[in-house]
Amino acid sequence: MAVNVLIGAEFALPASLERAWLDLLPPARRARIAARPEPRGRARSLLGTRLLAEGLLRLGHPPAALQSMHEAPGGRLGLGVPVDISVSHADGLVACALSTAGAVGIDVEALGAANAEHFRIYLSEAERAWAGVSPERFLAIWTRKEAVVKAAGTAGLAAVPAVDTMVGPEHASLNGTLWWTPALAVGPGYAAHLALADGPKPISLTRIERAALERALT
């Protein structure tokens, strides 16, 4: 598959598992995650790492490939192998996308009460009109915008208003570049989208159970 998406349920990490997953990472990335004071924040980041390791294995890359992880301009994570990656988490869920066919971005959000009026500065007039007061429609827009920003390697929320999700079905544009933004069915209560350059590509979506994640990598 050109694009693989792996998802896993969030869970608290035993200390031994946290240490094992930290050891998969290069020193700078390891130190950055270990310095986070909240166990849940560390667990989310490390679960994304473990899903990434699983995805790399499926593409024929050993766990040692994670040692090449680095932070590219714009804050995007990169690897020393020809795979583009993106990670997102929402309350209770973590997702990782791997692409062998160009840049990829993923965003997952838990459905709640927020609507377009709460984030109006980030949405165009047409986007606000389409979303109305529907939380589902708002997140359909928001996750597409966030996925595009991640795929484009643009840091922070500053670029979110510039993403136009009204250019056509399953597409969005940023600074003249058109992105394919398919929805992902990651589970009830969530909205999720990918952003991919150069049009539709085959996508594989796999849920990885906790027992599989807890097994040692080989």
**Residues in Cβ contact with 185 at an 8 Å cutoff, skipping those fewer than 6 apart:** 192, 205
pLDDT value at residue 218: 66
Q: What is the mean pLDDT of residues 66-87?
A: 90
pLDDT value at 1 more than 70: no
Q: How buried is residue 161: exposed, middle or buried, by Cβ count under 10 Å (0-12/13-18/19+)? A: middle
Q: Is 64 left (phi over 0), alpha (psi -120 to 50) or beta?
A: alpha
**Full DSSP string of 114-132:** --GGGGGGGS-HHHHHHHT
**Structural domains of the chain ordered from first start:** 1-82+91-101+201-218 (3.90.470.20), 102-199 (3.90.470.20)
**What are the pLDDT digits (tens) for 97-149?**
999 989 999 999 999 999 999 999 999 999 999 999 999 999 999 999 999 99
Helix segments in the chain, DSSP class H: 15-22, 27-34, 39-58, 125-131, 135-152, 210-214
- Whole-angstrom Cα distance, residue 41 to residue 38? 5
Q: State pTM to two decimals.
A: 0.95
| Helix (H/G/I), strand (E/B), else coil: 1 | coil
**What are the pLDDT digits (tens) for 96-109?**
999 998 999 999 99
**What are the pLDDT digits (tens) for 23-67?**
999 999 999 999 999 999 999 999 999 999 999 999 999 999 999
pLDDT value at residue 199: 79
